[in-house]
Structure 1
Amino acid sequence: MREADGKLLLTDFHRGAGGAVTTREFATVPAGAKWAVDKFGGDVAFTDAEGAIRIRPVNVPRSPIAVVEGVADTTTAGDAAWNARWQLSCPPASWTVTVKNATGATVRTLTSADGSGAQIEAVWDTEDTTGKPAPAGSYTWTLTATPPDSTTPAVLRTGRTTVSTTAPR
């Protein structure tokens, strides 16, 4: 996106190397207009001749869903729960955290199809799928999320945590 002669111009590179690059007029704006591109959501905000703020979608493929920032426990010591929080580049249609034991067997699956925000908070109470406490040991987790414009989930993060005790519930 760039401004030239009272126009916002959109240059589309999405076809990659060797693909046709096209530039088209996106909007008419006054000289020196303020504008910004949402690099994750794909919308452009700009001020028009009356000074009103306008928002228009950009009709090119969006960047893949990604984790912008996040944190996940590496141990459950103290509270007997695994806690994680991630800020994604856009609200996912759904997300899943799969927890596996040292042999690779799935111990627990956490999931949500809320889709109302780009922040995910996951809490594993260190119980398995039957509600029994998971034994002390090493576990791996995988975060996958399905973008709002796709049906194919993407693996966004993986990590390890250690269950240090099986505290009474």
Structure 2
Amino acid sequence: MNLIRLLALGCAVLLGIPCCAATLPDGSTLTLAQSGRSVKRVLRIGHHLRHASIDSRLHGILHEALDAFVVGGRGFSFEGHVYAILAVTKQSAKDGRAYCGAGTEEVLLLVELQRERNSLALRDSLKVQSCLETFELISDRGHELRRLLAEMDEPSRIGLTWLNHPQFGDTPRVVTVSDGKFRVE
């Protein structure tokens, strides 16, 4: 399977390097990949490639990611902005010796593509599973988050149900976007 096919699937881990891509509403493609100590980001518009700048908070999160993919494999337009939601898995504790140090934390990141600046900006984050804070999803039915979210039809409306979430309880919720922030209804 070639690289183009892997990117077309939405996201792949290639040689241990997290890589994810999103088709944007105008047909262009955004690709993010880890390469050494930097996160490479490329915007493909037609046959033209442009490197996009990335804010430091987003770069830091992606640099530490064990896995990352674009929810639904595509971005979406809302309120005049272009967004992609990234699902990121990272290690719970850096040293691995603390309780749950071998566990993971899973977070949704709301990323805005700012075309006029050719940049990516982190707008919001939502922790969806946490070993350290002991809450998890029921809606993933014991599967990886990727299996639940990677092929969603509508990435701008994500249905989730948690087990013992400290804020949202056990009630099914819908995660949407409003004013550049996640809203959990």
Specify if TM > 0.5: no
**Which band: TM-score by shorter chain?**
under 0.3
Query: Max radius of gyration: which structure?
Result: 1
Between Structure 1 and Structure 2, which shows a larger proportion of helix residues?
Answer: 2
TM-score (norm 2): 0.21
TM-score (norm 1): 0.22
